[in-house]
Amino acid sequence: MESGILARRLLPLIVLAVGVLAFGLPASAGIQRADLLTTPLHGVVGPGSTITLTRQDGTSVTHLDPGTYAIVVEDKSDAHNFHLSGAGVDQQTPVDGMLTTTWEVTFQDGKTYKFQCDAHPGFMRGSFTVGTVQPPPVVPRLNARVTSRTISLKTAGGVRVGTLPEGNYRIVVNDVTKAQNFHLKGPGVNRKTRVRAKATVTWKLRLDPGKFVYRSDQSTRLRRTFTVKSTPPPAALPAAATAPQSPGPRLNARVTLRTISLTNAAGVRVSSIRQSTYMITVSDSTRAQNFHLIGPGISRKTRVAATAMTTWSIALTPGRYVYRSDRNRKLRGSFTVTSVPPA
Residue 168: which of 228, 211, 238, 121 has the closest Cα?
Answer: 228
Other residues' Cβ atoms within 10 Å of the Cβ of residue 183: 21
The single-letter DSSP state of residue 39 is: -
Position 333, amino acid: G
- Using the contact rule CB under 5 A, the part of the chain among 101-109, 120-128, 172-180, 252-260 near Cu ion is 120-128
Residues 117, 153, 240, 331: which binds Cu ion (CB under 5 A)?
117
User: DSSP per residue over 289-310, as a string?
Assistant: ---EEEETTEEEE--TTS-EEE
Does residue 80 interact with Cu ion by CB under 5 A?
yes
33 binds Cu ion (CB under 5 A): no
- Name which position in 33, 83, 120, 324 contacts Cu ion (CB under 5 A): 120
Give the nearer residue to Cu ion in terms of CB position, either 36 or 79: 79
Rounded-to-10 torsion of CA 232, 236, 239, 244: 80
Residue (115 or 128) nearer to Cu ion, CB: 115
Q: How far is the CB of 120 from Cu ion (least distance, A)?
A: 4
Residue 80 or 215 having the CB closest to Cu ion: 80
The identity of residue 12, as a single letter, is P
- Specify the stretch interacting with Cu ion by CB under 5 A; choose among 112-120, 129-137, 165-173, 250-258: 112-120
Closest CB to Cu ion among residues 123, 323: 123
- Residue 177 CA to residue 147 CA, distance in Å, equals 5
For Cu ion, the closer CB: 92 or 317? 92
Residue number with CB closer to Cu ion (122 or 209): 122
Nearer residue to Cu ion within complex by CB, 83 or 320: 83
State how far the Cα of 200 lies from the Cα of 173, in Å rounded to an integer: 5
Q: What are the angstrom distances between the C-alpha of 136 and each of 83, 127, 157, 169, 170?
A: 21, 11, 20, 13, 13
Among 64, 98, 119, 176, binds Cu ion (CB under 5 A): 119
CA distance 293 to 272: 15
DSSP reduced 3-state for 270? coil
Q: What is the DSSP letter of 240?
A: G
Are the C-beta atoms of 154 and 122 separated by less than 8 Å? Answer: no
Per CB under 5 A, the segment of 31-39, 121-129, 262-270, 293-301 that binds Cu ion is 121-129
Q: Rule CB under 5 A: say whether 83 interacts with Cu ion.
A: no
Stretch that binds Cu ion, among 5-13, 118-126, 153-161, 183-191 (CB under 5 A): 118-126
CB of 168 to Cu ion, least distance (A): 28
Query: Based on CB atoms, which residue is closest to Cu ion, 117 or 228?
Result: 117
* CB of residue 97 to Cu ion, shortest distance in Å: 13
User: CA quadruple 251, 313, 244, 318: dihedral positive or negative?
Assistant: negative
* Axis-axis angle for helices 29-36, 2-22 (nearest 10): 160
Binding range to Cu ion, per CB under 5 A, among 9-17, 113-121, 178-186, 332-340:
113-121
- What are the φ/ψ torsions at residue 208 (nearest 5 degrees)? -95, 160
Stretch that binds Cu ion, among 116-124, 169-177, 193-201, 272-280 (CB under 5 A): 116-124
Interface residues with Cu ion (CB under 5 A) are 80, 117, 119-120, 124
